[in-house]
């Protein structure tokens, strides 16, 4: 972020803030959109970057080419359905099922209830329902075994969040001027290019489960039970590698900001008995929703 002071005749000094996008590095001064670090459709309501940190062009690209493919993955759609996570329009995604072992149907959930919902039955299946003594609907259950295949959809999604979360840390620190240094730091360019342009198609991402999908936590003050939708943190290893760790309902995604290798993270886990950095006492500054 560059501050430019322009002085006009007969006018007091005017402070103009010139900004650059953390991804494309282009001028983002006139951008109008805030950027959700984690999509609203994954429960993110508060971790938001101010206008101009990500330009409108990149913001729109991420919504279409990065976030939507990830959200459309069957495991994520099923997770959002089971947990009742609504999108910014206030709807919960439907999932597919089978009626009477032959007719595909859609199951939808009421946003005001974890149990109420409805089934969209095709007209061709009505005769099957009427003639049968009972009807059966089969749909997959959400279990701890749900798993996303590691590939560009996952790595670009996690990499996008990693870069934005790093910018967030800079903005929250007392070194706001460091944002320009981050933008100009070429060691982050390979990940930027992977996320924004799809360059270097393969970027390793370590994926594992660290707690069960429906784990409930207890608030120490109110004693109320709650679930953690998402949480994230950074890790500097002893060999000075920087990793970003994201957990979504207990599924942990880890990416190296400086390169595609994650062997350093795997070695770190061995040293710390597979304890996630999200809960390691030396990494207690994680963000969660």
**Tens digits of residue pLDDT in 18-61:** 899 999 999 999 999 999 999 988 887 788 999 999 999 999 99
- Number of domains making up the chain: 2
Q: Whole-angstrom Cα distance, residue 195 to residue 209? A: 24
* Arithmetic mean of pLDDT, 186-200: 95
Co-location of 240 and 224 in the same domain: yes
Q: Whole-angstrom Cα distance, residue 39 to residue 32? A: 18
Mean pLDDT (the chain) is 84
Q: Which two tokens stand for residue 212?
A: 């069960």
Write out the H or E segment, with its range, that includes residue 165. helix 152-172
Alpha-carbon distances, residue 93 vs 84, 141, 160, 202 (angstroms): 9, 15, 23, 29
Residue 210: CB atoms within 10 A of its CB come to 15
Residue 131 located in a structural domain = yes
Q: Whole-angstrom Cα distance, residue 270 to residue 282? A: 16
In the predicted model, is pLDDT for residue 180 greater than 60?
yes
Residues in Cβ contact with 160 at an 8 Å cutoff, skipping those fewer than 6 apart: 62, 66, 67, 195
Q: Whole-angstrom Cα distance, residue 236 to residue 262? A: 13
In the predicted model, is pLDDT for residue 66 greater than 50?
yes
Co-location of 278 and 174 in the same domain: yes
Residue 143 located in a structural domain = no
User: Higher model confidence: residue 252 or residue 173?
Assistant: 252
Domain, as residue range, for 86:
76-138
Co-location of 203 and 259 in the same domain: yes
Question: Last residue of a domain, which of 98, 119, 138?
Answer: 138
Write out the H or E segment, with its range, that includes residue 139. none
């Amino acid at each position: 972020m560059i501050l430019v002071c322009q002085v006009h005749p007969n006018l007091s000094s005017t402070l103009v803030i010139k900004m650059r996008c953390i991804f494309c590095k282009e001028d983002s001064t006139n951008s109008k959109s805030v950027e959700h670090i984690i999509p609203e459709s994954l429960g993110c309501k508060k971790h938001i970057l101010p206008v101009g940190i990500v330009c409108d062009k990149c913001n729109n690209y991420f919504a279409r080419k990065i976030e939507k493919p990830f959200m459309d993955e069957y495991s994520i759609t099923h997770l959002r359905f089971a947990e009742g996570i609504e999108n910014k329009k206030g709807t919960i995604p439907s999932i597919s099922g089978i009626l009477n072992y032959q007719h595909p149907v859609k199951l939808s959930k009421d946003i005001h209830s974890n149990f109420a919902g409805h089934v969209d039955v095709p007209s061709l299946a009505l005769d099957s329902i009427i003639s049968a003594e009972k009807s059966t609907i089969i749909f997959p259950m959400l279990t701890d075994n749900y798993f996303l295949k590691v590939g560009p959809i996952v790595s670009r999604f996690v990499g996008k969040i990693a870069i934005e979360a790093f910018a967030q840390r800079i903005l929250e620190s007392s070194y706001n001027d460091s944002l320009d240094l981050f933008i100009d730091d070429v060691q982050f360019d390979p990940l930027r290019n992977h996320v924004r342009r799809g360059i270097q198609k393969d970027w390793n991402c370590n994926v594992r489960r660290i707690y069960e999908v429906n784990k409930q936590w207890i608030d120490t003050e109110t004693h109320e039970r709650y679930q953690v939708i998402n949480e994230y943190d950074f890790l500097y290893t002893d060999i000075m590698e920087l990793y970003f760790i994201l957990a979504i309902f207990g599924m942990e995604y880890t990416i190296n900001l400086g390169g595609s290798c994650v062997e350093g993270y795997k070695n770190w886990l061995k040293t710390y008995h597979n304890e996630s950095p999200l809960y390691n006492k030396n990494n207690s500054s994680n963000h969660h929703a």
